[in-house]
Structure 1
Amino acid sequence: MTLLHVSIAARAPAAMAKALARLLGGEALPFPPCPGAWIAFAAQDDGTAIEVYPAGTRLTAGPEAVAFQPGPPRRSTSATHLAIASPLTTAQIEEVAETAGWTSRTCDRGPFSCIEVWTGEGLLIEVLDAAMLADYRKGMTAAQWRMMFGMET
């Protein structure tokens, strides 16, 4: 298993992401899919990143993909989720999720696709097969991010 990115919540997302980016030797940029959020990219700029959402942000299973919901901080759900690479095929990943009683679906995130897996605990795990990982490695870079969202260097 390879950890690709993780999300956390913070009262000051920009400040947190900038500090994390410094620790990672990388770069922090706004995270437009979630208002007020930031993302810290690692120095190798290979997609390794930490997303920092405003405290209280909830990830919910929207009609077609993840939805961002603001709210007061609480413990039942959170913005925390994982993206992992898997040696399994898409069908095998979906079978594992089904066997565990979890919801899974393939989703297009823009620069990459993933199998969105929602555990029974409300935790989101984005699982990438080999082809999805290849797209992730190409599309999730600070340079691609700036280009995709029209950000200046």
Structure 2
Amino acid sequence: MFHHISIAVDHPLHVANVLAEVMQGSCFPFPPHPGSYMVIVDDGYGTGIELYPADTQLIPEPEQVGFSSGTAQTFMSVHAALSVSVSQEQIVQIADREGWLARLCDRHAFKVIELWVENKFMLELLTPEMAKEYLQFAHTAGYEAFLRQAAPQLVEA
């Protein structure tokens, strides 16, 4: 189970406040790395997102992770899927207000709303209804059934 994820963005405080709104959580400063913020959701799972300045890199220092500045990325290969309690309409309204892309996408086994944070980092948001579909799919037997249908050549006989 994932408990939190970190992402680097252009405007950490602003993004943290918007994500706190979408996730129905709270935004706090993140002292280990000045200029960073943490969104905490009181969902019983410790769900959170750390928002760092765009040029932040995590580096392995001798005792524990450290923070360094590097070159900011335009797009990222990392994404996360999050269950949220707000509606699709609320997500779209928030995205429109921020000028961020939000769109409903069919992943074949389930639907998600792609929310492109600052139009460069994708979060897959699942409303309560979407989360039910996802949870029916997201287990070994569900994925095997998906593979047999979508890519039978990849499934061992």
TM-score computed with the length of structure 1 as normaliser: 0.49
Larger Rg: 2
The structure with higher relative contact order (CA 8 Å, sep 6+) is: 1
